[in-house]
Amino acid sequence: MARGLGLSLRRMFNWAMSLGAMDLGIDLGTANTLVCVPGKGVVLMEPSVVAVKTGTHPPIVPLNGRAVGYEAKRMIERTPENIKAIRPLKDGVIADFEVTEIMLRYFIQKVQRRSWGVRPRMVVSVPSGVTAVQKEAVKNSAINAGARRVYTVFEPKAGAIGAGLEISEPQGAMVIDIGGGTTEVAVLSLGEVVTLQSLPVAGDEMDEAVITYVRDMYGLEIGHRTAEEVKIAIGSAYPLQEEVSYEIRGKDIAAGLPRRLEISSAEIREAITSPIHRIIDAAKSCLDATPPELASDLLNTGITLLGGGALIPGLREIISEETGLEVHVAEDPITAVARGTVMLLERLDEYEDVLAGD
Ligand code: ADP
Ligand code: MG
């Protein structure tokens, strides 16, 4: 009875506190940060990049502190020596706390309207490779940026919820989240991650592979932005019904001059085959580590692909062929984790236990 009363008082308190405050769900990704608001969906999606003046401490961000996100990504590989563009989460760990905090604060302020001084609650998803200390740092950054209460959640869990998978049941569900810096493969059951493989091979590694391929085959040096552009335009993991080609520009290594090159989808597929197969191997070893009852559930539920990498044509087919399981691509895979954080926010009472361990 007393416990029930305590619970409903707490609910009323939470409800009163939420009036006027805009709670936020945040996907702190290695490539992109997304901010989501209950009832509104995704309100911000920008690259997780910050430009800083080199050698300054604390870090000084150019353009009066505005060289964050899109502004900063435009600067990658185009900066003079005194400025560098940093991706603070590049390898799925928080490499630079101060820069992460600057970025988080900037994005939060960008979407927030001041509302009677009521501070919002936030659910922030973090890569499962982060340590307890780094999680605390993320929480502190969000508090410093104005949060009243911060919950962190592991990315694959938020992603599975965002993709509409039923993870609270005693039944296995598997997700593969292919982001920029990391791929996370997870089997979940009863709201928890049961088996996890986190590997530093994802979209960035594919871009690197394209750069190496073009250099080795054509003696042409291209930048990361061009590599990503051609990968997104014509990249694939399985032969296409109709192969296409794309024009890229770079610098001829021998002549030292700018040059154009027409490259085919078959060539890009060959270039990225090694990172793709490393992702498939991680999926297989995650399956191998999964207890038999849960593994057999996957014959019904299959595998769900999330993250930007899920958009590569033919990935679904090749993973299905290699694992023998049905593979689905989540609806709007790039926003699945962010949408999951908001679903958690909307049902915090119900999910408080699910979040406790994260
Ligand atoms: P993170 O969660 O690590 O921030 P995202 O899920 O936002 O990463 O995915 C970013 C990665 O997805 C980048 O490497 C990007 O190049 C890649 N990507 C985005 N769209 C596509 C696409 N249509 N085809 C292939 N790769 C894509
Ligand atoms: Mg992600």
CA-to-CA distance for 316 and 178, rounded, in angstroms?
Answer: 12
**Ligand closest to the CA atom of residue 180:** 1
Share the mean pLDDT of the chain. 90
Would you say the CB of residue 179 lies under 6 angstroms from ligand 1? yes
* pLDDT tens for each residue of 270-323: 999 999 999 999 999 999 999 999 999 999 999 999 999 999 999 999 999 999
What span, in angstroms and rounded, lies between the C-alpha atoms of 283 and 333? 18
| Rounded distance from Cα 94 to ligand 2 centre (Å) | 14
Going by C-alpha positions, the residue among 314, 316, 303, 310 that lies closest to residue 334 is 310
C-alpha of residue 96 to centroid of ligand 1, in Å: 22
Report percent pLDDT > 90 for the chain: 66
* pLDDT in the model for residue 168: 87
CA 210/CA 344 separation, integer angstroms:
38
Q: Whose CA is nearest to atom 26 of ligand 1?
A: 309
Using the 8-state DSSP alphabet, how is residue 112 labeled? P
From the CB of residue 257, how many other CB atoms can be counted at a distance below 10 Å?
Answer: 8
pLDDT 10s digits, 142-197: 898 888 999 999 999 999 999 999 888 899 999 999 999 999 999 999 988 999 99
- Residue 229 contacts by C-beta under 8 Å, 6 or more apart in sequence? 248
**Which ligand 1 atom is nearest residue 232's CA?**
24
95-140 per-position pLDDT tens digit: 788 899 899 989 998 988 665 567 889 999 998 878 888 889 889 9
pLDDT at 145: 82
Measured in Å, residue 207 CA sits from the centre of ligand 1 at 11
> Does ligand 1 come within 6 angstroms of the Cβ of 127?
no
pTM score of the predicted model? 0.91
Q: How far is the CA of 203 from the centre of ligand 1 (A)?
A: 6
Residues whose CB falls within 8 Å of the CB of residue 68, separated by 6 or more in sequence, listed in order: 46, 49, 50, 51, 61, 102, 103, 106, 107
Average pLDDT over residues 43-59: 92
Torsion angle, alpha carbons of 284, 316, 154, 9, to 10: -130
